[in-house]
Amino acid sequence: MVPLVRRAMVEDERLLNDSDFMQGFSVAQILPGVLAINTACFVGRKIRGLPGALVCVAGAALPSFCIMLAVASLFGEFRHVRLVQGFMRGAAPAVAALIAAAVLEMGWRGLDTHGEIVMAFLLAGTVIVFSLHPLWAVVGGVAWGLLRHR
């Protein structure tokens, strides 16, 4: 959802510039809760204040909630159907691909210099190789940014 929100707010409607959106997205990532909801809250507040935040959160949460409620109520009855099992097996790689595409699209927009690109790869490598909790990568990135831009 986040790349779609960015495209709509920054490119299509021009309600935010890319820098404002990326700053809000960065804050939304470190706050507890669902990333898309946090991002919607930021965008709504930036555009129309508290009423905008409430409307954007409702708009981001309610459709997904209603669809999941309907699917969950039907899944129990049909989970043994071969077509449903095939759908679920095929959906997993599709979801992984969508997440990877969002990471690539959004990630490169936030990396302005070669140093930031190198730091992103170093932090990702540290998380993968040493099984480091991602929170420590965020703390490391924040520390690096504060030291670099003081």
pLDDT digits (tens, 9 = 90+) for 13-61: 998 998 898 888 888 888 888 888 998 899 899 999 999 999 999 999 9
Q: Is the dihedral of CA 6, 110, 147, 150 positive or negative?
A: negative
Domain containing residue 17: 2-83
The answer as to whether 11 is a domain residue is yes
pLDDT at position 128, please?
A: 92
Token pair recorded at residue 1: 């959802």
The answer as to whether 35 is a domain residue is yes
pLDDT digits (tens, 9 = 90+) for 82-107: 998 898 899 989 998 988 888 787 77
The answer as to whether 119 is a domain residue is no
pTM: 0.53
